[in-house]
Amino acid sequence: MPYEDERSSYEPLRRIAENPRVKELLSNYRVRQRPVQRTAPLPLIDVSTLPHDGWKPSWVLAVDGSFLPVAIRNGYPGAEAAYITVASVMLDAAKLRELDQQRPVEPKIFRSTQESEAIDDLLPGRNVVYENDGSAKVSFRRALQNMLAAKHMSEEGESLLDTYEVLLKHKPKPAKAQTEQGCPYEDCPVDGTYRPQNGTFLCMCKEKRALYSSDALRIHERMNPESGSNDRIYSEVMQVVERIWVVHILRTLEKQKWLTSLKRLAILIDGPLAIFGQPAWISQAISEELKRINQAVKEATGQDLLLLGIEKGGEFADHFEHIDQNDNGVAGSFPKRTAALLTDDYIKQNIYFSDSTKPYGEGTYFGRKFFYKTHSGARIIATLPYLDNTHADWLKAEVSQFPRLADAAMLLDELISSRYPNSLQPIVAAHAEASIPFNLGKKVLERLARDLTSETKI
């Protein structure tokens, strides 16, 4: 890392460029050429040919999250905390259709078609320690447990922590003893194995220190205690809360006997139906719970629930743009109102190079990806959930593995936004509710932290 205002010289650049080892490595890397004919087929589905009963949702719920690390002035260098927000926006799709026939519409009336709420909290990071906690990692673990316990959709219903602990029952058992999770306290004098339980419980050692059910997420293990960014742990918390919140909503509707409302509701999450990093195991648990809930939904409504993950960028978006171009780079080759159903072979040959026998998405995804080009020409990368065991077979791609594909395509056609390329109105709205403006937000929230952080003499 340079000193403040230190300028780089060109000497290191010259050394790197002339280094024989660098030249050797670069010359041995493989370059993927655009194939004349793909060996892995890309099944294309004209969605207008799929059976459709004219279903249209009355409401669309979109969920998106954001986080912003800020400096904490507590006498320790590099002290930080992160503000976490997960926003839910309910869009009145039926009213939007009415307004669409009355263009132009006043912005005030348009804004009345959406309602929002948010989960907002603060997570301690490096060098931020609650009173009586032995380290920043301990404080982070406690804060995460408390955040989950404090959030709930219904005052009489279960908390987000309760929902998480239902998913914890589905946690896959490690295949080998070496992969068992260690005690969060690295100096634990007993066997050092963490055995998850619900709520807060005590370590078996003589110290009797607090353990939490949320320790099973293992997010705290990535905390960087000395230097560098802790963005990874904040990002993992955000993605877990976003996805558990959706399960929480579905479980609350079930307990309140409101599952029939899902006949008129579609749910969108920003990002794929997957969880990455330390808490990836929970994706399999979510999949099991969604299958169970969906059976109840089918009994109540006669159809599967409609849940979509929406990706805004990344390698899949880049590839979709690539196959939408002809050899001269002109866009428009991919037909409109067409879905491309992705397989393991296709992804490994064209998007993520791999010769692994492990199917793409195993252990991280709880849904199947597909490309869809809307009637307006927007390119959408979406994920539909595994609602049956056969849906997770990425070795093939059949319409039956993508629940409610026709309804999903219709919904995407209807929700396209002209505000940003390849964007959807509910996701734009949810992002606006969740996104913390970086420059102004950082100043305001740092001042809030400075004003409210208690001074303690040590």
One-letter-per-residue 3-state SS of 380-440: EEEEEECCCHHHHCCCCCCHHHCCCHHHHHHHHHHHEECCCCCEEHHHHHHHHHHCCCHHH
What is the rounded average pLDDT for all residues in the chain?
86
pLDDT in the model for residue 36? 47
Distance CA 149, CA 244 (A): 13
Domains in the chain, number: 1
pLDDT in the model for residue 379? 97
Is residue 173 included in any domain, yes or no?
no
Q: Residue 61 — very low, low, confident or very high, per pLDDT cuts 50/70/90?
A: very high
Distance CA 96, CA 70 (A): 38
Lowest mean pLDDT among 6-15, 256-265, 279-288: 6-15
Is residue 223 included in any domain, yes or no?
no
DSSP string, 39-82: SS---EEEGGGS-------SEEEEEEEEEEEEE--SSSTT-EEE
Distance CA 48, CA 67 (A): 40
Q: Where are the alpha helices (DSSP H) in 151-281?
A: 160-168, 231-255
36-45 per-position pLDDT tens digit: 455 688 989 9
Mean pLDDT value of segment 397-419: 95
Cβ(142)–Cβ(237) below 8 Å: no
Mean pLDDT value of segment 66-86: 86
Cβ(404)–Cβ(304) below 8 Å: yes
Structure tokens at 457: 């003499």
Lowest mean pLDDT among 6-10, 21-25, 124-128, 210-214: 6-10
Mean pLDDT value of segment 82-94: 91
Q: Residue 48 — very low, low, confident or very high, per pLDDT cuts 50/70/90?
A: very high
Is residue 394 included in any domain, yes or no?
yes
pLDDT in the model for residue 3? 47
pLDDT in the model for residue 314? 93
Mean pLDDT value of segment 11-40: 67
Give the percent of the chain with pLDDT over 70: 86
Asked if residue 160 has pLDDT above 90, the reply is yes
Is residue 293 included in any domain, yes or no?
yes
Asked if residue 396 has pLDDT above 80, the reply is yes
Asked if residue 298 has pLDDT above 60, the reply is yes
Asked if residue 198 has pLDDT above 80, the reply is yes
Q: Is the dihedral of CA 411, 413, 418, 423 positive or negative?
A: positive
pLDDT in the model for residue 173? 81
Structure tokens at 55: 């279903």
pLDDT in the model for residue 151? 93
Query: What is the CA 6 to chain-centroid distance, rounded?
Result: 38
Q: How many CA atoms lie within 13 A of 97 on its CB side?
A: 10
Closest CA to 364 of 294, 295, 296, 309: 309
Asked if residue 107 has pLDDT above 80, the reply is no
Do you know the residue count of the chain? Answer: 458
Query: Regarding predicted confidence, which is higher, 330 or 12?
Result: 330
Asked if residue 149 has pLDDT above 70, the reply is yes
Closest CA to 168 of 126, 139, 196, 136: 196
Give the percent of the chain with pLDDT over 90: 57
Torsion of the alpha carbons at 395, 400, 406 and 407, rounded to the nearest 10: -110
Structure tokens at 241: 């809360």
pLDDT in the model for residue 457? 43
Asked if residue 248 has pLDDT above 90, the reply is yes
Closest CA to 310 of 167, 428, 153, 434: 428
Cα distances (Å, whole numbers) of residue 440 to 78, 88, 217, 443: 20, 23, 32, 5
State which residues form the domain around 269: 44-122+228-452
Sole residue written with tokens 């999250």: 65
Distance CA 378, CA 321 (A): 10
pLDDT in the model for residue 449? 60
Mean pLDDT value of segment 283-303: 97
Lowest mean pLDDT among 309-313, 420-424, 448-452: 448-452
pLDDT in the model for residue 227? 75
Q: How many CA atoms lie within 13 A of 182 on its CB side?
A: 10
Q: Residue 303 — very low, low, confident or very high, per pLDDT cuts 50/70/90?
A: very high
Mean pLDDT value of segment 18-22: 76
Asked if residue 163 has pLDDT above 90, the reply is yes
Distance CA 197, CA 213 (A): 6
Distance CA 416, CA 425 (A): 6
Say if residue 104 is preceded by a cis peptide, omega within 30 of 0.
yes
Is residue 92 included in any domain, yes or no?
yes
Asked if residue 243 has pLDDT above 60, the reply is yes
Cβ(424)–Cβ(268) below 8 Å: yes
Sort 348 into a burial class: Cβ within 10 Å, 0-12 / 13-18 / 19+.
middle
Is residue 216 included in any domain, yes or no?
no
Structure tokens at 213: 């059910």
pLDDT in the model for residue 256? 92
Query: Regarding predicted confidence, which is higher, 87 or 155?
Result: 87
Lowest mean pLDDT among 42-46, 321-325, 438-442: 438-442
pLDDT in the model for residue 157? 87
pLDDT in the model for residue 29? 67
Is residue 335 included in any domain, yes or no?
yes
Is residue 363 included in any domain, yes or no?
yes
Q: How many CA atoms lie within 13 A of 303 on its CB side?
A: 18
Cβ(261)–Cβ(57) below 8 Å: no
Q: Residue 33 — very low, low, confident or very high, per pLDDT cuts 50/70/90?
A: low
Distance CA 81, CA 435 (A): 17
Asked if residue 5 has pLDDT above 70, the reply is no
